[in-house]
C-alpha cells in the first residue's frame, strides 16, 4: 500500500492511498479518515460507497462527514467506484457503465470479469487491507452509500451480514433489476439470465427474509431519478412484508445531489455509531 497524501482534518487525518488489487486486476485508490481517537484506540470503521461517475474523492470533498466522524470516533473508508487501469472496449463510452460504474458486483461476463469484481473488493480485499494498516475495530464495521453506492451498501450488507453490522443509504437504486441503470449494468456484467440479477437486487434479497438489524434510507422527493431509476417503494413494500425494520424518510424539495447528502449525513453517522458502538 502506498500513501498518496495525508491531511490534518478536524484533529484527525484524511488520507488518500493506492494499492495493487487482486480482485480488480490492478491499482485501486481509496480514502480513509482517521478520527483523533484512532491515535490511541481501535475504532469502528464505516465504508462509504459512492455513486455513478464518482471516485474515492467525491465523498471526502462533498459529503461533509469528517467533523461528526471526528467527534464520534468513526473511521471512514471510501473506495473508488470501479477499476481504472484495466481497460476494456466500451468502458468509457457512457457515464452509467464501465469506468465509474462498477455497481459493487462481481462481473461474470467477459471481458468484465477480469477486473470488475467490486463485491469481492469491498467486502473482502479492502477490509483486510484496512485491518492490516489502520487501527480499525474489525468487529464493528458498517456500510452506507449514495445512489449506485446505496444499492451497493444494501446488497452487500444483505449478502455479507457477518461483515457489516450496520447499513444505511441515500437515494439508493432500490430495485436495479427493474430500472434502466440496473438493466444496462447487470445485462453486461452478469449476462442475460435475470435470476443472477436478483442476487444483487436489494428488493429481491429482502423478500427472502429480514436482515435482523434496522435500516435507514433517506430519499429526496425532488430527485430527478426517483420515478425512473430509484423505486424506493419496492424496498418499502418488501420490508413491510418480511417485517424488516426500515426507516424510509422522504424529504420535500431535496434532489439527488450532495447538497441532499450533506444535509442528512450527521443523522447517518449517528445511526451507525449507535449500532457499532453498542456491541
Which pLDDT score is estimated for 8? 98
8 A C-beta contact, residue 91 and residue 98: yes
Name the residue among 231, 240, 275, 272 with its Cα closest to residue 69.
272
8 A C-beta contact, residue 105 and residue 119: yes
Q: In whole angstroms, give the CA distance from residue 228 to residue 50.
A: 20
Q: What is the pLDDT of residues 129-141, one digit of tens each?
A: 999 999 999 899 9
DSSP H helix total and E strand total for the chain: 10, 9
**Residue 2: enclosing H or E segment and its boundaries?**
strand 2-9
Give the mean pLDDT of the chain: 97
Which member of 82, 147, 177, 203 is catalytic? 147
Name the residue among 93, 90, 92, 83 with its Cα closest to residue 114.
83
Please name each of the domains of the chain with its CATH number.
2-276 (3.40.50.1820)
Which residue(s) pair with 3 in the sheet? Answer: 17
Question: Which residues, 6 or more positions from 236, have their beta carbon under 8 angstroms from its beta carbon?
Answer: 246, 248
Q: How long is the chain? A: 279
Q: In whole angstroms, give the CA distance from residue 259 to residue 220.
A: 11
Which pLDDT score is estimated for 279? 54
Which member of 146, 200, 231, 256 is catalytic? 256
Q: Would strands 215-220 and 246-251 be described as parallel, antiparallel, or unpaired?
A: parallel
Q: What is the pLDDT of residues 209-241, one digit of tens each?
A: 999 999 999 999 999 999 999 999 999 999 999
Q: In whole angstroms, give the CA distance from residue 87 to residue 106.
A: 16
Q: Dmax of the chain from CA atoms?
A: 51
Q: In whole angstroms, give the CA distance from residue 263 to residue 237.
A: 26
Which pLDDT score is estimated for 124? 98
Name the residue among 243, 166, 157 with its Cα closest to residue 200.
157
Task: Assess whether pLDDT exceeds 90 at residue 172.
Answer: yes
Average pLDDT over residues 1-15: 98
Among this protein's residues, is 147 annotated catalytic?
Answer: yes
Q: What is the pLDDT of residues 61-89, one digit of tens each?
A: 999 999 999 999 999 999 999 999 988 99
Average pLDDT over residues 164-169: 98
Which member of 166, 218, 223, 268 is catalytic? 223
- Per-residue confidence at 204, pLDDT binned at 50, 70, 90? very high
Indicate the burial class of 64 (C-beta count within 10 angstroms; 0-12, 13-18, 19 or more). Answer: middle
Secondary-structure breakdown of the chain: helix, strand, coil percentages, each rounded to the nearest 5: 40, 25, 35
Among this protein's residues, is 223 annotated catalytic?
Answer: yes
Residues of the chain above pLDDT 90, percent: 97
3-state class (DSSP) for residue 48 = strand
Grid coordinates given for 77: 473508508
Among this protein's residues, is 7 annotated catalytic?
Answer: no
Average pLDDT over residues 163-185: 97
Residue 139 DSSP label: E
Amino acid at each position: 500500500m502506498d500513501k498518496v497524501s495525508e491531511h490534518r482534518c478536524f484533529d484527525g487525518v484524511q488520507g488518500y492511498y493506492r494499492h495493487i488489487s487482486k480482485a480488480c486486476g490492478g491499482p485501486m485508490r481509496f480514502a480513509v479518515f482517521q478520527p483523533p481517537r484512532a491515535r490511541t484506540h481501535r475504532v469502528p470503521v464505516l465504508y462509504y460507497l459512492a455513486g455513478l461517475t464518482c471516485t474515492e474523492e467525491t465523498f471526502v470533498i462533498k459529503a461533509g462527514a469528517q467533523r461528526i466522524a471526528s467527534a464520534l470516533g468513526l473511521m471512514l473508508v471510501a473506495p473508488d467506484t470501479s477499476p481504472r487501469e484495466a481497460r476494456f472496449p466500451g468502458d468509457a463510452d457512457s457515464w452509467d457503465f464501465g469506468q465509474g460504474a462498477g455497481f459493487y458486483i462481481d462481473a461474470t461476463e467477459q471481458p468484465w470479469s477480469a477486473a470488475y469484481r467490486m463485491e469481492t473488493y469491498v467486502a473482502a480485499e479492502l477490509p483486510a487491507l484496512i485491518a492490516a494498516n489502520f487501527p480499525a475495530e474489525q468487529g464493528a464495521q458498517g456500510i452506507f452509500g449514495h445512489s449506485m453506492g446505496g444499492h451497493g451498501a444494501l446488497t452487500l450488507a444483505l449478502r455479507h451480514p457477518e461483515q457489516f453490522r450496520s447499513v444505511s443509504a441515500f437515494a439508493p437504486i432500490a430495485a436495479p433489476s427493474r430500472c434502466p441503470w440496473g438493466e444496462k449494468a447487470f445485462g453486461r456484467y452478469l449476462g442475460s439470465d435475470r435470476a443472477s440479477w436478483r442476487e444483487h437486487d436489494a428488493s429481491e434479497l429482502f423478500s427472502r427474509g429480514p436482515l435482523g438489524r434496522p435500516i435507514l434510507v433517506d430519499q429526496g422527493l425532488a430527485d430527478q431519478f426517483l420515478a425512473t431509476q430509484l423505486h424506493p417503494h419496492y424496498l418499502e413494500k418488501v420490508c413491510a412484508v418480511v417485517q424488516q425494520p426500515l426507516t424510509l424518510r422522504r424529504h420535500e424539495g431535496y434532489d439527488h445531489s450532495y447538497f441532499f447528502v450533506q444535509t442528512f449525513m450527521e443523522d447517518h453517522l449517528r445511526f451507525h455509531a449507535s449500532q457499532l458502538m453498542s456491541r
